[in-house]
Amino acid sequence: KMYGSYYSPAQVSNIAKQMIPKVEAYHKRKLSDKVFCVYLDATYLPLRRETFEREAVYIAIGIKPNGHKEVIDYCIAPSENIEVWT
């Protein structure tokens, strides 16, 4: 509704299923050859699974020599801890 369209729960589920191969391909893609700096951070977002729990979203952002930022990768985990960062 927020974007002027209404999607049923079944439609949202089907869209999410179609995105799974694209997300997997994103995680396996070849990375840029040159990155000047890498920022690592995590934030908690409410994610809908069985419940609406807040989970940690880890993100690695690389800055190229020309100043452009690129999301290198991301990971979702229930909490922030050293094992996930590793």
User: Which range of residues forms the domain containing residue 48?
Assistant: 31-85
What does the pLDDT read at residue 4? 82
- Contact between 62 and 72 under an 8 Å Cβ cutoff? The reply is yes
- Does a structural domain hold residue 6? no
pLDDT digits (tens, 9 = 90+) for 12-59: 899 999 999 999 999 999 987 788 899 999 888 887 777 667 888 999
pLDDT at 64 > cutoff 80 = yes
**Confidence class for position 1, pLDDT limits 50, 70, 90:** low
Which residue type does 40 have?
Answer: L
Which of 83, 74, 65, 2 is closest to 45 using CA atoms? 74
- Does a structural domain hold residue 37? yes
SS3 category, 37: strand
Q: Could you give the CA distance from residue 30 to residue 7 in angstroms, rounded to a whole number? A: 34
- Contact between 16 and 45 under an 8 Å Cβ cutoff? The reply is no
- Does a structural domain hold residue 57? yes
- Does a structural domain hold residue 20? no
Q: Count of domains in the chain?
A: 1
- Does a structural domain hold residue 22? no
What does the pLDDT read at residue 6? 85
- Does a structural domain hold residue 53? yes
pTM given for the model = 0.70
